[in-house]
Amino acid sequence: SILVNKEGKRFVEELERRDVISKAVTEQTGGVSYMFWDEASMEASGVKEAHPEEYERLIKEKHLVKADTIDEAAAFFGIDAETLKKTIADYNQYAADGKDLEFNKRGKLVAFGEGPYYIMVSQPSVHHTMGGVVINTNAQVLDKDGKAISGLYAAGEVTGGIHGTNRLGSDAIADITVFGRIAGEQVSK
């Protein structure tokens, strides 16, 4: 799939980190992007078979649009169709050449084939915050001078610094479990 903006242009490497993609999306017209893919990609993903009710609901509610042509897909969201067609043609050429000249997309580039095509709005949302109170290895909250605040413990997303500047998927599970247990043990002493 590719991400395009309202103007029908790619604007970021689709395999970038979530923070990079989110920032790039917010800089686009309306703060949204559109994910575009073809039937071959849909079939390869197995999404329709794995989640048939959700697929049908998304189609019915028009969050996910299935279109016979690129023009039809573009028209649904008011995207510039001619630019989108050029973007897709360029991407298909990159796939044929084995090199993305615009964004150096990693991995194997797969050209878009015949329709039907799929398109949906894609925009960032908050699901994890970076930053928060600083804790030590005993899950004690530290004051601005780095001293433990007596009786105050923390774990999970309220804490800061555990993940550095970016979080990898599923990493929060480990820190909430480990520091939650440590905080519980400390409080019980």
| Distance (Å, whole) CA 4 – CA 121 | 10
Query: Which residues are CB-neighbours of 140 under 8 A, at least 6 positions away?
Result: 148, 149, 152, 153, 186
Buried b (16+ CB within 10 A) or exposed e, 153-165: bbbebebeebbee
Question: Residue 4: how many CB atoms within 10 A of its CB?
Answer: 26
Query: Which residues are CB-neighbours of 72 under 8 A, at least 6 positions away?
Result: 117
10 catalytic? Reply is no
| Distance (Å, whole) CA 103 – CA 100 | 6
3-state helix, strand, coil in the chain (%, to 5): 40, 15, 40
The one catalytic residue in 18, 57, 167, 181 is 18
First CA to last CA across the chain, in angstroms? 53
Catalytic residues: 18
